[in-house]
Amino acid sequence: MIPVSRIVSSLRYSLRDMQGLNVSDFELIEAINQASALLYGRLAEKFIHTALKKTLLVVDEDGQTTLPSDFVSVHRVGMGEEGYAVPESYRPDEAGTYRIAGNNFYAPEGSYSFEYYYLPQRVTSLTDRLDVPLSLSPYIEQISAAMLSKDLSTAEQLAQLCCNVQAGGEISHLENTGPVEILGGML
C-alpha cells in the first residue's frame, strides 16, 4: 500500500510543479488511477503474479456468489485439500467445477479459495493509500507522469518494462548472458 500523497509529491517534483501552479491534485490523482489501471491490466494479461490476490468465496445452496469488486480475471480456484476446481462452460453441477459469468461466480455449494488478478481500487484523496506493492511505486509514478504529458506510448512501454521485470525478463536485457550449457555441452 502506497500513500497517495507520497506519489503526488514525487509526481509534482518530476513535473517541476511543487506549488501546484499548473497541475491540480485532481489531475494527478486521475493520472495515478489511470496508471494503476494500465499497469495492472498489462500484468494480468501477462499472468504476472504481482497482480494476484486471494480471497475466500462462499457459495450457498443457490450455487452462486458475487465476484470481488476489484476482479479482473481468474488465476485458480482452490477447494482446500481437494485440489483445484476447473472451469465449466455451462452451469456447474458437479463438484470441482466452476463458472464465471458477468459479475457472478457459479459453483456447487462450498467454500473456495479464489486467486484472481485484481485492479487496484480508485483513489480519490491525498490521504488514501493505493493498493499496490511498494516495488511498483516507481512504475506507477513514471507511468502517471507519462499520462499527464499525454505520452501514451511511453506509458505503454513503461508498463511492458514493468511486466518484464516482474516476470524476471530483465535478464534478457543483459548483452552477455554467459555460456549456455545444453546437455552437458557448451555453446
Residues forming contacts to other proteins in the complex (CB under 8 A) are 19-27, 29, 124-126
CB of 88 or CB of 128, closer to other proteins: 128
Q: Please tell me the distance from the alpha carbon of residue 50 to that of residue 167, in angstroms, as a whole number.
A: 9
CB nearer to other proteins: pick between 23 and 79: 23
Beta carbon of residue 22, minimum distance to other proteins (angstroms, whole number): 6
Q: How far is the CB of 39 from other proteins (least distance, A)?
A: 23
List the alpha helices (DSSP H) in the chain: 4-15, 25-45, 137-148, 152-166
Residue nearer to other proteins on the CB measure, 5 or 55: 5
d(CA 63, CA 57): 11
Least separation in angstroms between CB 26 and other proteins: 5
The nearer residue to other proteins, 24 or 149, going by C-beta atoms, is 24
CA distances from 152 to 130, 157, 158 (A): 21, 9, 10
Task: Pick between residue 29 and residue 44 the one whose CB is nearest to other proteins.
Answer: 29
CB of residue 129 to other proteins, shortest distance in Å: 15
Distance CA 45, CA 174 (A): 25
Q: Between residues 77 and 146, which has the closer beta carbon with respect to other proteins?
A: 146
Provide CB contacts within 8 A for 178, sequence distance 6+: none
d(CA 138, CA 134): 8
* Pairing between β-strand 52-59 and β-strand 110-118 as defined by DSSP bridges: antiparallel
CA nearest 148: which of 26, 2, 1?
26
Minimum CB–partner distance for residue 124 and other proteins (Å):
7
Taking the complex as a whole, the smallest distance from the CB of residue 25 to other proteins amounts, in Å, to 5
